[in-house]
Chain A
Amino acid sequence: MPSGALLFQSVILGLLLGGLYALLAAGLTLYFGIMRVVMIAHSAFLILAAYLAWWSHTELGIDPLLSMLVTVPLFFGCGVLLQRLLLARLRAVTLTMMSVLLTFAIAVVIEGLLGYVFSGTQRRIQLGYGSASLELFGGRIAVVKLIAFGLAGVALAALYLVMKKTTFGWALRATIQHRDAAKLVGIDTDRVAGFGFGLGLATAAIGGTALSLDTTIYPSLHWHWIGPLMAIIVVGGLGSVPGAAAAAMVLGLAQSLLQIELGTTWAQTVFYLALFLTLAIRPQGFFGGRLAQRF
């Protein structure tokens, strides 16, 4: 039995990790809601943002957090263009399958370009406050992890406010709920869908910056993220943001606790186990609404 302090530390780390998962899963859920698209390239953009943060820190000497000033608008634009120029061109009948292939292709291209430009070497940001940590009931929590969690929390809250309180958010939710009806009441659904994708990709920019603070990054790292993230959105119920957030917290916690006994590699299998069990027992996920029934 591990000591109480270790257990406590693992719980905290699991919750902090879960926050980051929740933010990224929210992005994936947005895409799925808008277009029934499983966006494989989401985590590739995540790693791209992490690389941009690392690059701006080592080459330009600025704090990685400041790189968000550029990456967030940039990724927003990328998301809009991706939806308007590429995904909207696909045939509606085979959209789900073909969009997976298209976003997969984008992920592979990003991975290849990252490997070509920055080489396959593992990179890590050395920060002045990188080794600082808080002592809490005998557990040690690194400050950077708290910053990452804070970023994810603020971004999620902002996303929530945009979705619930702004006219654009209403239009976006209307588009997700019923596209034709939204069109009838005068919403330009094509434009809203494009902006929705931009919003989703912006979460990857924030998540990537948070990730770069305390993680060693390499081009193929995105595969370690897309698997857990896809498991989270299935367990939570495809299309449900609260479901994804809850599943992210539970699975992040489970991963962190299992690491004590099993080590990092085997602990990752908890996501895949949860994925298979969910699909076998309750295919629509545990929080899924109407949308999830048929996917």
Chain B
Amino acid sequence: MPSVSKRLATGIAIVAFAAVALAFPELAPNPYILSVGIVVLNYAVLSTSWNFVGGFTGYISLGHGALAGLGAYGTGLLVTKGGLPSFVALAAGAAIVAAIAIPIGYAALRVRGASFVIVSIALVLVTLLVFQSWASFTGGSRGLNVPRPFPGMLRPEHHRVFFYLFLALLAIALTVWWLIDRSRFGLGLKAIREDEDKAETLGTPTFAYKLVVFVVSAFFTGLAGGLYALWFGDLDPIFQFSILTGSYMVLMALLGGVRNLFGPLVGALIVGSALEYFKVEFGNTPLHLVATGVLLALVVLFMPDGVLPALGALLRRLSPTTETSIREVTAGEVAAIGGEPQHAQSRNG
């Protein structure tokens, strides 16, 4: 049970973040900054969605970028070819992604970790291949234009609306993660993460649990991808089905801390802002890749539990101790109490 002061601190942090986030569109000096805010929020939703699988079960997926891409293209194609209204298409697109995730999860999750990672990478490679080659349906390398959901709206206003939409999606994803975290289902998932053999022995339906949480994760990832498609309006397979998108999600979640509800969000704020900053300062150079790779390697090697737990450990080390095995009593006081007779009894009995 977390202490009162810790819960209070968490509560204050949430309220402060929510206040800043809600006021951000008013505070942003220009539409560009606002659009950066949307991109960072999109990353936050994506890495929180990723964390349904990565955080609970410990299965690392490098292929969630493909699920986001499928959500984006699904939504875009349903609008352009299917003639559906934008937000109906968004829901339908995410549902399709969740449906696609079932056979993928079935193939990938029956065995342990290594195959799952391999399938997740293969998913990105095969979707990129298909969406680039099947030009008659997807537009191929020329890209796909998705009409805006609010045609008459001016650009800054459009950004503002989508900022709040992404914020709402983030709130929903976080709430669902929090609910699973507290549930029996979540307990089973975490048991899989800690020791899959023992969890299975104790009667946890490990395969079913993994599959369900993978589909939930895919659904939210698809929603985030679809919402991005509606906001950005221009899809290119190279960027939608990039292995980098998936690795950004992993990096953000790991950096923030996968066991923490707000870990991916914190990671997205750090990495997402850094990515946008470097894009402005240095343009799109191959050094992007180098920086991403080095950062990922450093996190994996030195901070596999994330920055939030690391900070927590630091705070605990500096704060006054509350629980300790060192007795703050003198030998004389112990003798006066009488050497704790119950303990002696239970040991004898």
A interface with B by C-beta (< 8 Å):
32, 36, 38, 40, 86, 89-91, 94, 96-98, 100-102, 104-109, 111-116, 120, 219, 223-224, 226-227, 230-231, 234, 238, 265-266, 268-269, 271-272, 275-276, 279-280, 283-284, 294-295
Report whether A275 and B122 are in contact in the complex, using a CB–CB cutoff of 8 Å: yes
B interface with A by C-beta (< 8 Å):
58-60, 62, 103-104, 106-108, 110-115, 117-119, 121-122, 125-126, 129-130, 132-133, 243-244, 247, 250, 254, 285-294, 296-297, 300-301, 304
Cβ contacts A to B, 5 pairs, < 8 Å: A105-B296, A105-B300, A227-B126, A272-B125, A280-B107
Q: A90-B300, A102-B297, A109-B294 are in contact. Are A295 and B115 (CB under 8 A)?
A: yes
Give, as a whole number of angstroms, the nearest-CB distance from A295 to chain B: 4
Q: A116-B287, A283-B110 are in contact. Are A105 and B293 (CB under 8 A)?
A: yes
Q: Which residue from chain B places its CB closest to the CB of A265 in the assembled complex?
A: B133
Report whether B58 and A94 are in contact in the complex, using a CB–CB cutoff of 8 Å: yes
Report whether A272 and B126 are in contact in the complex, using a CB–CB cutoff of 8 Å: yes
Report whether B304 and A98 are in contact in the complex, using a CB–CB cutoff of 8 Å: yes
Q: A105-B294, A108-B247 are in contact. Are A280 and B300 (CB under 8 A)?
A: no
Report whether A111 and B289 are in contact in the complex, using a CB–CB cutoff of 8 Å: yes
Most buried by B among A89, A105, A113, A265: A105
Q: Which residues of B contact A226 (CB under 8 A)?
A: 121
Q: Which residue from chain B places its CB closest to the CB of A97 in the assembled complex?
A: B60
Other-chain residue from A98, A269, A283, A295 in contact with B130 (beta carbon distance below 8 A): A269
**Alpha-carbon separation in the docked complex, A295 to B304 (Å):** 22
Report whether B60 and A109 are in contact in the complex, using a CB–CB cutoff of 8 Å: no
Q: Which residues of B contact A275 (CB under 8 A)?
A: 118-119, 122
Q: Which residues of A contact B292 (CB under 8 A)?
A: 105, 108, 112
Q: A100-B62, A280-B107 are in contact. Are A32 and B114 (CB under 8 A)?
A: yes
Q: A97-B117, A295-B115 are in contact. Are A112 and B289 (CB under 8 A)?
A: yes
Q: Which residue from chain B places its CB closest to the CB of A281 in the assembled complex?
A: B107
Report whether A109 and B293 are in contact in the complex, using a CB–CB cutoff of 8 Å: yes
Report whether B121 and A116 are in contact in the complex, using a CB–CB cutoff of 8 Å: no
A107-B293, A108-B296 are known; give 6 further A-B pairs, CB within 8 A: A101-B250, A105-B292, A109-B297, A219-B286, A227-B121, A283-B115
Closest 9 A-B residue pairs measured CB to CB?
Answer: A115-B286, A112-B289, A109-B293, A108-B293, A112-B290, A105-B297, A105-B296, A279-B107, A227-B125
Give, as a whole number of angstroms, the nearest-CB distance from A42 to chain B: 12
Report whether A91 and B304 are in contact in the complex, using a CB–CB cutoff of 8 Å: yes
**Alpha-carbon separation in the docked complex, A91 to B303 (Å):** 12
Give, as a whole number of angstroms, the nearest-CB distance from A261 to chain B: 14
Report whether B119 and A112 are in contact in the complex, using a CB–CB cutoff of 8 Å: no
Other-chain residue from B60, B129, B250 in contact with A268 (beta carbon distance below 8 A): B129
Chain B binding surface SS class: helix
**Alpha-carbon separation in the docked complex, A100 to B130 (Å):** 25
Give, as a whole number of angstroms, the nearest-CB distance from A95 to chain B: 9
Q: Which residues of A contact B243 (CB under 8 A)?
A: 223
Q: Which residues of A contact B103 (CB under 8 A)?
A: 276, 280
Q: Which residues of A contact B288 (CB under 8 A)?
A: 112
Q: Which residues of B contact A272 (CB under 8 A)?
A: 122, 125-126
**Alpha-carbon separation in the docked complex, A275 to B108 (Å):** 10
Report whether A86 and B289 are in contact in the complex, using a CB–CB cutoff of 8 Å: no
Report whether A279 and B115 are in contact in the complex, using a CB–CB cutoff of 8 Å: yes
Q: Which residue from chain A places its CB closest to the CB of B113 in the assembled complex?
A: A96
Q: Which residues of B contact A269 (CB under 8 A)?
A: 126, 129-130
Q: Which residues of A contact B113 (CB under 8 A)?
A: 96-97, 295
Report whether A265 and B129 are in contact in the complex, using a CB–CB cutoff of 8 Å: yes
**Alpha-carbon separation in the docked complex, A283 to B60 (Å):** 19
Report whether A112 and B133 are in contact in the complex, using a CB–CB cutoff of 8 Å: no
Other-chain residue from B106, B110, B117, B289 in contact with A100 (beta carbon distance below 8 A): B117
**Alpha-carbon separation in the docked complex, A108 to B110 (Å):** 29
**Alpha-carbon separation in the docked complex, A96 to B116 (Å):** 11
Most buried by A among B107, B285, B296, B300: B300
Other-chain residue from A107, A271, A276 in contact with B119 (beta carbon distance below 8 A): A276
Give, as a whole number of angstroms, the nearest-CB distance from A2 to chain B: 21
Q: Which residues of A contact B300 (CB under 8 A)?
A: 90, 98, 101-102, 105
Give, as a whole number of angstroms, the nearest-CB distance from B91 to chain A: 27
Q: A90-B300, A97-B59, A101-B300 are in contact. Are A230 and B121 (CB under 8 A)?
A: yes
Q: Which residue from chain A places its CB closest to the CB of B193 in the assembled complex?
A: A94
Q: Which residues of A contact B60 (CB under 8 A)?
A: 97-98, 100-101
Report whether A109 and B129 are in contact in the complex, using a CB–CB cutoff of 8 Å: no
Q: A112-B293, A276-B107, A283-B115 are in contact. Are A230 and B122 (CB under 8 A)?
A: yes
Q: Which residues of B contact A32 (CB under 8 A)?
A: 114
Q: Which residue from chain B places its CB closest to the CB of A38 in the assembled complex?
A: B114
**Alpha-carbon separation in the docked complex, A231 to B117 (Å):** 12
Other-chain residue from A96, A104, A265 in contact with B132 (beta carbon distance below 8 A): A265
Q: A105-B293, A265-B133, A295-B112 are in contact. Are A279 and B119 (CB under 8 A)?
A: yes
Q: Which residue from chain B places its CB closest to the CB of A120 in the assembled complex?
A: B286
Q: Which residues of A contact B291 (CB under 8 A)?
A: 112
Give, as a whole number of angstroms, the nearest-CB distance from B31 to chain A: 31
**Alpha-carbon separation in the docked complex, A36 to B294 (Å):** 23
